[in-house]
Structures are given as C-alpha cells and as structure tokens.
Amino acid sequence: MMGKVAFSLLLALALVTLGVSSGRKCVLSGLWKNELGSNMTISAVNADGGFTGSYHTAVTATDKHIRVSPLKGSQKPTSRRKEPTFGFTVSWTFSNSVTVFVGQCFMDDKGKETLKTMWLLREEVSSPGADWKATRVGTNIFTRIK
C-alpha cells in the first residue's frame, strides 16, 4: 500500500506536469503601464481564455481629447499557463481607429512580469487611394503596476 507522503508527492508531480499548480505563472489580469505612459486594466481571464478591460492611452495620432477606451481579448492556452500568449483589440471611443495588440506574458527569475507586444493601429481614411497610410505598426512593453 502507498503511504500518504508518497501519494501526496505523486499527486503534486502529476499536477506540476499538467501545469495545474506550482511554479510562478504570468497572469494577465491587473493594472499595467507601458513605456509611453499608457495604462491598461485587464479583468480576470475567464474559462474560455476571454478577458475585457480598459485602456488609457498617453498619446494619440489625432487632435482629439483622449478618453479611456474598452478592450477585449483572449489568451492561449485558455487555462493559466506559465507564459501565455494573448491578443486584444482596443476600440477607441474618441476616434474612428482600432488597435490590435498581440503578445506574450513573460516572467523573469525574480517573478517580475512583462507583456511584450506588437500592435497595428488602423485609422479611417477618406478613400482607397489613402489606404497606404492608414496603418501604423509598433511595439509596446508593459510592466505591472498592481
């Protein structure tokens, strides 16, 4: 018969192997800031990997007054994993533009989390002839504030 200690060890090993417990995990939910000074809040990630949040950009390509805008995204794998990938869309409330971000949540040896992202910002243009200048591309690195 297997002893209690041996059973617990076996169970712990099985859970770690399945990525269910133990080990530090990079978590998307929380408050983040990027190198431009923009802030975003990401809600809890649901069972399907979906999340919502809000984005307060520090900069704009427009002459409009900046307002906090909603974001919607999903992470992969859907369950909590060590360093998940993700994508989200920000639907700007003060312009006719949309930004999509893709990235990965990384954790360093000290437990510090970083979101490394690339984004595409699409603005509205008045004709197909202006399509060439309608999309900007860039990168942002987010660190956790809370």
Q: Which residues bind ligand BTN (CB under 6 A)?
A: 34, 36, 38, 57, 59-62, 92, 95, 97, 99, 119, 121, 138, 140
Q: Which is nearer to ligand BTN, 51 or 55 (CB)?
A: 55
* 67-100 burial code (b ≥16 CB/10 A, e <16): eebebebbbeeeebeeebebebebebeebebebe
Contact between 57 and 67 under an 8 Å Cβ cutoff? The reply is no
Least distance in angstroms from the C-beta of 138 to ligand BTN: 6
Q: Which is nearer to ligand BTN, 38 or 78 (CB)?
A: 38
Q: Which is nearer to ligand BTN, 27 or 141 (CB)?
A: 141
What letter does residue 19 receive in the DSSP assignment?
T
